Structure 1
Amino acid sequence: MSAIPWFFATIIWLPIAFAGALGFVPLVGILGISALFFQKNIQFRPYMGVFIVALVYAACTSIWSPYTTPLVEIDFSKGDFHVKSAVLRVALITLFGGIALAGAQKVSKAKSKLVVEVFSVIILLQAISLVIIHYFYSDVYNFFEPLITDQTSATLNLSRNVSAFGIGATLLIAIFRHVDNTPKLRDLLLSTGFALFSAYYCQSLSASAAASAILLAWAFMFLPGIFGKYTFRILGCATAGFIVLSPIVFSSFIEVLGDRKETLEASYLWRIEIWTEVLRHMSEKPFWGQGLDALRTYDAVFEDGIWEGQRIIPLHAHNMFLHIWIETGYVGVWLTALSVLLMGNRLPAPADLGPKAAAAICGLWAACLIICNFSFSLWNDWWWALIVVVIGFVSLIHNAWSDEVA
């Protein structure tokens, strides 16, 4: 298959991320459509079937959801076309993303290696850009001010940019971790240094989730050496269990934290308040869930304090696992957990992937766990599009260093 679409994805990564990452959605569409011209046979995997059933069920919950939205919104006079349904957007990303990933697996070794090398340079440039933003934030903001509608948009764009970097950086850490097929102290120091560097500058830009994601990703890259062929099965089982038990985990955490939550930074404290409110409403419709985008209708506000008058739940739970629970209930949770469990059991063993690809998958898994626990809505289409693109680069890493497979 031609590597041109993935070269395009590499080159466009930095401007998309810098502009707020929303462009990853059409990028997945471009990659999927391009792959259709080259990919004749697309292999269907069992966990995909369960995941699709979960999406269909989530769509069905809109029937009893208090929040109503049309599937699409068309204004011929203005030439506007918007996919308004959250689950339809995610479903389209799943469809085109699956086709794109099937195509990525067919890219030749030489072309894959070239794409990955260029992508590594792009991630390094993105790291440098974050350093520049850290030290010269006002100058950067003033330079781009004509393109910025308001300060809130600029802040959101920066947050998404840093999150995109946090996900992309995990792949570069994996490559640094295994520069050679044989583990060396040099590789460990290089990957550790880049992980600490990346985490520090993410934290300096108030992106705690991205910083934590990078550090946990680095730690997870040791798992293949510990658990061997059982690595992904263990990750699948542990993640599925965490999804099912997340209300107990977070309610226990909040209870243990107690009044000490008042000592936390404002962003952390607000998340605690959001989770508390979500957990309080979770028992209202525990089996079927409250319906797609139901959280958007929760308009309770803070009665006093620094957020007086602001909504306690700002449109979503800031925790995708709790989000699944409250909107899709037991049914959605168990379907999601089952799809993750099957995925972990169906992934090839690390030895069959090669050290770089295995480390990249472990790192990406860890980064997703962190960010899904602390940031963004479950139905954020750009987030899932970003994950699809990065998984594609993982496939290219596997292709590029296939000779390192045990």
Structure 2
Amino acid sequence: MIAKAAGPEKGTPWLTGVMIFVFVMTPLLGYLAQLGFAPLMALAGLLVLPVMARPRAPAAPTLILLLLAIWAAASMTWSPAAPPAGSLKDYGDVEKVTAVKLFLQLALYGAAAAAALRLSVRGADRVATVMGFGVLALAVFVGFDALTGAAMFQKLRVLSGDPIRPDLAKVKISIGCYVMAVMFWPAAAALAQRGKQAAVVLLLAGVLTASVLASADSCLVALAAGGVVWLLVKGLGKAGGRLLTLAIAIPFMVAPIAVLWAIQTGFWGWLHGLVPASWDARLNIWAFAADHIQDHPFRGWGLDASRTFGDAIPLHTHNAQLQLWLELGAVGAALAGAFFCWLAHGVTRAAETDRGGAAMSGAALTSYLVIGALSFGVWQEWWIAVGALAVVACAAVRLSSGEYSDELVEISPND
């Protein structure tokens, strides 16, 4: 396949402006208000819709996500978390329902991701530059604040009239580490493309410092796993991409079985004696979830059912694969797994013409999945938005390098 050197020019000045705005906001939200990524990406999707081309038949990943959203909505008919009849009285009530938000996110975040693929080379270069230096600024600022015990964050909260305890301030700035762990890969690639190797080193130092001092352990794991995938794809090309696809598929297929096997063999008990308290709590949650998956292995307990088990599962399972199995059963886990394997397969195909870009995309995907497997709930809007943000960032970097091909990620019916 011949690589395309440029995206289409029509409408790209507006698209470029929207994407630059998104990445100007990224360091601000990454430090002060991570939940704001959800409305930011939704706004970006709304802003690009007027200049998008006529919709065509949905692409494969769009259909997969649409089927997942439909299955999730259908599961509300048996979910213990379903809102009581008559409780949805206005739009505000309806908009809070997870099933409804999934369709909105698919449309708006998907539009933003598709818009990134339409950037011209010049526009993509500008977007990638702003993105790279924006993430660098976030890493330096959060890293420095972590060194001071989140003193700057505390001062800002005092100035806003909402003071915060030092321990909670440390927790708040640690959330930005998760954004940086995913965005590190496209940001590092963008800076390296521009000959800013020293900036890449500073970026890495900031991310590592913040993650260590803020006790964001899963970020360190995500960065390490992303680094391994980067080396595999960069060094082995398509073979590395195939290994990534396999590594992604296995947890979606066997997560509950693996946990139950580990419990039965005593391996789980051995782990309990090794890990610190936060990870010990995760082991308890995962064991409980795996046990209850056996009650409804095909259909699951229903969307948001994780929130109904009391102290046994605080809000969610802290593991994407187990949460999907628990709530949406084998059907939901298979659909989500198919989507992420499709992304990994795209990395494999992209490695034919652009190993560097493929390695970057594979590492970002890996970091995102590792954090999702250890820290956040599947349906958290801001975390889904960060995934869309990473897609936009990777698209901009690859387009700006002139190595873009139509194997790049596309998750919207717009073209």
Task: Check whether TM > 0.5.
Answer: yes
Aligned to 2:280: 269
Cα 1:253–1:171 change in 2 (3 A) is: farther
5 Å-filtered alignment, 1:116-135, equals 116-135=128-147
CA contact under 8 A between 1:288 and 1:329: conserved in structure 2?
yes
State the shift of 1:5 in Å: 0.3
- 1:236 is displaced (CA, Å) by 2.7
Query: Structure 1 residues 142, 176: CA separation in 2 closer, same or farther (over 3 Å shift)?
Result: closer
Determine if contact 1:274/1:313 at 8 Å carries over to the other structure. Answer: yes
- For 1:305, the equivalent position in structure 2 comes to none
Q: Report how far residue 295 of structure 1 moved.
A: 1.3
Amino acid at match of 1:206: S
Alpha carbons of structure 1 residues 174 and 18: separation in structure 2 relative to 1, 3 Å = same
Q: How far apart are the structure 2 equivalents of 1:279 and 1:198?
A: 33
Give per-residue Cα distances to partners, 1:127-151, cap 9 Å, x unaligned.
1112222121252243033344755
Tell me, yes or no, if the aligned pair for 1:105 and 1:395 is still in contact at 8 Å. yes
> Is it true that 1:136 corresponds to 2:145 in the alignment?
no
Partner residue in 2 for 1:93: 105
> Which residue of 3, 19, 37 maps to 1:24?
37
Structure 2 unaligned regions, length at least 5: 1-11, 406-415
> Structure 2 counterpart of 1:100, which letter?
A
- Contact 2:170 2:214 (8 Å CA) reproduced: no
Partner of 2:25: 12
**Shift of the alpha carbon at 1:227?**
3.3
Structure 2 Cα separation of the partners of residues 70 and 20 of structure 1:
32
Match of 2:64 in 1: 50
Range moving further from structure 2, 201-210 or 84-93: 84-93
Unaligned runs of 5+ in 1: 181-185, 300-310
Whole-Å separation in 2 of the counterparts to 1:153 and 1:200: 18
TM-score (norm 2): 0.83
Say which SS state the counterpart of residue 316 (structure 1) adopts: coil
Deviates more, 1:374-383 or 1:117-126: 117-126
Letter of the 1:54 partner, please give it: L
Instruction: Tell me the distance in 2 between the aligned counterparts of 1:323 and 1:149.
Output: 34
The 8 Å contact of residues 128 and 190 in structure 2, kept in 1 or not, is answered as no
The 3-state SS of whatever aligns with 1:374 is: coil
AA in 1 matched with 2:306: L
Question: Deviation of residue 10 (structure 1)?
Answer: 1.1
RMSD: 2.9
Task: Tell me which amino acid in the other structure corresponds to 1:51.
Answer: L
TM-score, normalised by the number of residues in structure 1 = 0.85
Q: Give the structure 1 partner of residue 9 of structure 2.
A: none
- Distance in 1, matches of 2:62 and 2:17, equals 27
Stretch moving more, 160-169 or 244-253: 244-253
Q: Tell me, yes or no, if the aligned pair for 1:17 and 1:164 is still in contact at 8 Å.
A: yes
The yes-or-no answer on 1:243 pairing with 2:252 is yes
Q: How much does 1:159 deviate? A: 3.5
- Sort the Cα spacing of 1:283 and 1:13 in 2 relative to 1 into closer, same or farther, 3 A: same
1:222: which partner in 2? Answer: 231
The more displaced of 198-207 and 54-63 is 198-207
Alpha carbons of structure 1 residues 267 and 242: separation in structure 2 relative to 1, 3 Å: same
Using the TM superposition, name which of 49-58 and 225-234 deviates more.
Answer: 225-234
Establish whether residue 199 from structure 1 lines up as the match of residue 208 from structure 2: yes
Structure 1 distance, partners of 2:333, 2:151, is 46
In the TM superposition, residue 176 of structure 1 has moved relative to its aligned partner by 5.6
Distance 1:393 1:125 in 2: 16
- Residues 195 and 218 in structure 1, CA contact (< 8 A), matched pair in contact too: no
Partner AA of 1:37 in structure 2:
P
Question: Which one is further off, 12-21 or 189-198?
Answer: 189-198
| CA 1:204–1:253: 2 relative to 1, 3 Å | farther
2:70 is the counterpart of 1:59: no
What is the percent sequence identity of the aligned residues?
21
Contact 1:356 1:397 in 2 (8 A): no
SS of residue paired to 2:34: coil
Q: Residue 12 of structure 1: CA displacement?
A: 0.7
